[in-house]
Structure 1
Amino acid sequence: MDIVCFSAVNWDPIMTRIQHLMKRFPKGNRVFFFEPPSTLISPLKDRERLEDLYIWIKNPKKKLDNNIYILKLPPVFPFYNKNRIVNRINSFFLAVYLNIIFKRFNVQKPLFWMYLPNNVDLLKYVKYSYLVYDCVDKHSEFSGLINKELVEQYERELCEKSNVVFATAETLYESVKSYNPNTYLIPNGADFDLFNSAYTQNLEKPEEFLNIKGRVLGYVGVIRDWVDIDLIDYIASRREDWSIVLIGPVGNDVDITRLRSKQNVHFLGARKQQELPRYIKYFDVCLNVFKVNELTKNVSPLKLYEYMATGKPIVSTRMPHVQNYTDVVYIADDYEDFIKKCEIAMGEDKSVVEKRIECAKQASWDNRMKDIMAIIEKEFALGR
């Protein structure tokens, strides 16, 4: 069977749940991974998005493992999450392009795997045999030019049309299950063997760490407006003997000026996933510094499982999903408590390390995909 994935992120540079799952479909299936379209005005805000206006002409961008095709959707009109008419117009023209691609590759009635609620308007223009909605975020809570009620309407309709719905966090699950009884909780996971190498292998210390002094508190992930910059600033100011290392791209929606002025805060930029264990190995504490709000209350932090696979101590803000792991994660209630939890984590009993690693092993992407495939096979057999 052909799987057509309408992704919420590009294949590169940050590996997310989406890529990990698509890579784990049996090799007998072709996977067409469509990166989300940019809007026609995106380059005005981010010059790096300029190539999105034309790169789709060269599709597929690349082919992986002989069965995964990476493609870029053409640019669309902006404000589709504020105005349904705009979204329908975009969907019509995207469908025309999709049908050309499907004809070129002889894709007939594929399995659709969707991540963005507004994609629901595509469904009336393209043929498919089965529909999966993998709900990974509370999309109506993102900042930007959106109409919250419209995005929630998109999601409700997509859930209702789906054969199966997956949700990554308990609060998301409770929300979308009301729209579709065939909803299952499948949290995020980790590339266990890769990240566990930080524990099992003698990895070389990164050159960037040679001039970093004191205990190292590290964060890995995209730095966007859901990251608590105030908390990082507070820690850096109160504990100047500690160094904070941040690995990941910085979004245009976050101001890090005051952090860049601090001698003990180090922005290393994005790194390929294969390189991350070498950095995390030299963290004294791994940080999950998400703000606690309606968006993050519905998140299953992927980095949580990656951190656990390394065995390193983890300190987190009090997010609902993280509270499932109070025996292996230190959870802070406020800024001062966060510092106290870091101090405790630095002196933790090493017996918790193996327990932390075992949690990550059970949550490996291989195991997550086995659960997903078993559910789909069951639902398919039941004719749902």
Structure 2
Amino acid sequence: MVQGKDIILISNQMLDDRYWTSKQYITMELIKNNRVLYVEANYSFGKLCSGMMGKKWPVVPFGRLQDVTDNLYVLTPYPRLPYRNHFQWIGWLNQKLLLAKIRRAAKKLNFERPILWTFLHQTADLIGKLDESVAIYHCVDDWPERFVINKMGRRSIIKVDESAILEKSDLVISVSPRLLVDYEILKAKYRFIENGVDLNSFSIKDTSPQIPIDMNQISKPIIGFVGSIGDWIDLDLYKHLLFSFPNYSFVMIGLNERQKEIAQINQHPNFYYLGLKPQGKVVDYIQHFDVCLMPFNHSRIAEGLLPQKMFQYFAMGKPVVSTDSSPLKPFKKMLYLAENTEQFVTNIQHALEEDHNKMIDRIEFVKQYSWANRIKLYNNAIKEILN
């Protein structure tokens, strides 16, 4: 077990984001035995202005260093210059500014030979400049594809940046076997480690749970989805399901990145978009789902997904119907995988009729994917690199 270490974890999220991902969960596990400096997302000046105008980006006291709890310190960097993924020199300058801020924070905290653990593809210039004992790049997304789809960068620039951090890192962790396939990575430093699940939060706590207020009037059965509604979600499939099951209720919860399309689908009488829910409340909604969905399309991003939500669904024993893809095939005994729209429809019906024992099987199966067990795998990989 790696313990008694100082760790600088560079995230692309604020620590108190409404919906937690691997960064926050990993941090909470690491601080049990180590000191962690959690470096929050440094939003651009453009997003800062949007926040001031009441948009979705928060306005926070940039530049602060907080002592949050035992072993956990949070650094909120100053806003970065925009267009970092469009022009190499802007990305380089942003890294210089971020490096200076992290150095000051690490010095103030008396960090010694820290582990540098970054989730950002554009942080290669930090490696070797923080007196780190080991540098880890934790890849959780197909950044060249994601940023281009969202019109947030040029593929060539992003791939140059990611190539640089893959070369400089001592350890590379990928959450899906389909990520990073375009790069040559030394096998000795590459580890495929799936996402995990917080078994304490995502569990069946009550056999008769209270129904959230905004689900009070939604009739059963409820077919639910939780997660970001991005370009990798097959909304045409969703429309087909709405017509195929007019007496079923379809609920979506999460960050809506396709507002116009969701607004149109929301006209259907059996569709309910309930917005983005706080982290601690998500489980209350999943508990009332009869079937959980992962309705992905066949885009490059979707084909590489091995999502955290799947493990959360499993932890609550829920039957899951998903579009088929190679990263999901190892879980086919726990999932209902569909190769086409017709099979997706059939699988929803099968999921509603399944035996109760399958719920128990999923709950037992997913225990190996607890964040505590993920940390053991990270620890083993780090020790191998350090040795």
| Deviation of the 1:44 alpha carbon | 5.3
Task: Provide the residue aligned with 1:41 in structure 2.
Answer: 46
Q: Which residue of 1 aligns with 2:282?
A: 276
State how far apart, in whole Å, the 2-side matches of 1:50 and 1:356 are. Answer: 37
The answer for unaligned runs of 5 or more in structure 2 is none
Query: Which residue does the alignment assign to 1:334?
Result: 340
Query: 1: CA distance between counterparts of 2:358 and 2:57?
Result: 48
Structure 1 CA distance, aligned partners of 2:258 and 2:82? 18
Contact 1:92-1:125 within 8 A present in 2 as well = no
> Is the deviation greater in 163-172 or in 274-283?
274-283
Q: SS at the partner of 1:22? A: helix
How far 1:31 sits from its partner (Å)?
0.8
1:343-358 aligned within 5 A: 343-358=349-364
Q: Aligned partner of 1:266: which letter?
A: Y
> Cα 1:275–1:107, aligned 2, differ >3 Å: closer, same or farther?
same
1:252–1:313 distance in 2 versus 1, CA, 3 Å: closer
Whether 1:87 aligns to 2:81 is no
TM-score (norm 2): 0.90
User: Which stretch shifts more, 43-52 or 212-221?
Assistant: 43-52
From 172, 186, 189, give the equivalent of 2:196. 189
Q: For 1:285 and 1:16, locate their aligned partners in 2 and report how far apart those are by CA, in whole Å.
A: 22
Deviation at 1:45? 5.4
Distance in 1 of aligned mates of 2:371 and 2:260 = 30
Structure 1: 5+ residue stretches without partners? none
Which of 45, 61, 73 is equivalent to 2:77?
A: 73
Q: Aligned to 2:23, which of 10, 15, 18?
A: 18
Deviation at 1:305, TM superposition (A): 0.5
- Structure 2 residue aligned with 1:239, among 231, 245, 256? 245
In the aligned structure 1, how far is the partner of 2:383 from the partner of 2:368? 21
Is the Cα–Cα contact under 8 Å of residues 212 and 284 in structure 2 kept in the other structure?
yes
SS at match of 2:300: coil
Aligned counterparts of 1:253 and 1:148: Cα–Cα separation in 2? 25
For residues 273 and 155 of structure 2, the distance between their equivalents in structure 1, rounded to whole angstroms, comes to: 33
Aligned ranges for residues 244-255 of structure 1 at < 5 Å? 244-251=250-257, 255=261
2:107 counterpart of 1:103: yes
What is the identity, as a one-letter code, of the residue corresponding to 2:155? K
Provide the residue aligned with 2:316 in structure 1.
310
Q: Distance in 1 between the 2:259 and 2:39 partners? A: 25
- 1:139 corresponds to which residue? 143
**Compared CA separation, residues 55 and 48, structure 1 to 2 (3 A):** farther
Aligned counterparts of 1:356 and 1:92: Cα–Cα separation in 2: 46
8 Å CA contact retained: 2:75, 2:105: no
Can you list the C-alpha shifts for 1:317-365, whole angstroms capped at 9, x where unaligned? 1232221111110111222321211011111123322222222111111
1:173, 1:184 within 8 Å by CA — same for their partners in 2? Answer: no
Distance 2:354 2:258 in 1: 37
| 1:378 match | 384
Higher alpha-carbon deviation: 300-309 or 153-162: 153-162
Q: Which amino acid aligns with 1:77?
A: L
Q: Distance in 2 between matches of 1:57 and 1:362?
A: 39
**Identity rate, percent:** 26
The superposition leaves residues 134-187 of structure 1 with CA deviations (integer Å, 9 ceiling, x where unpaired) of 111111111223121221221121111111111111122655563553111100
Write the deviation string for residues 224-269 of structure 1: whole angstroms up to 9, x where unpaired: 2322222222212332211111122323676411122222111222
Counterpart of 2:32 (choices 15, 27, 42) is: 27
Worse overlay, 218-227 or 168-177 = 168-177
SS in 2 for 1:227: coil
Among candidates 171, 175, 178, match of residue 178 of structure 2: 171
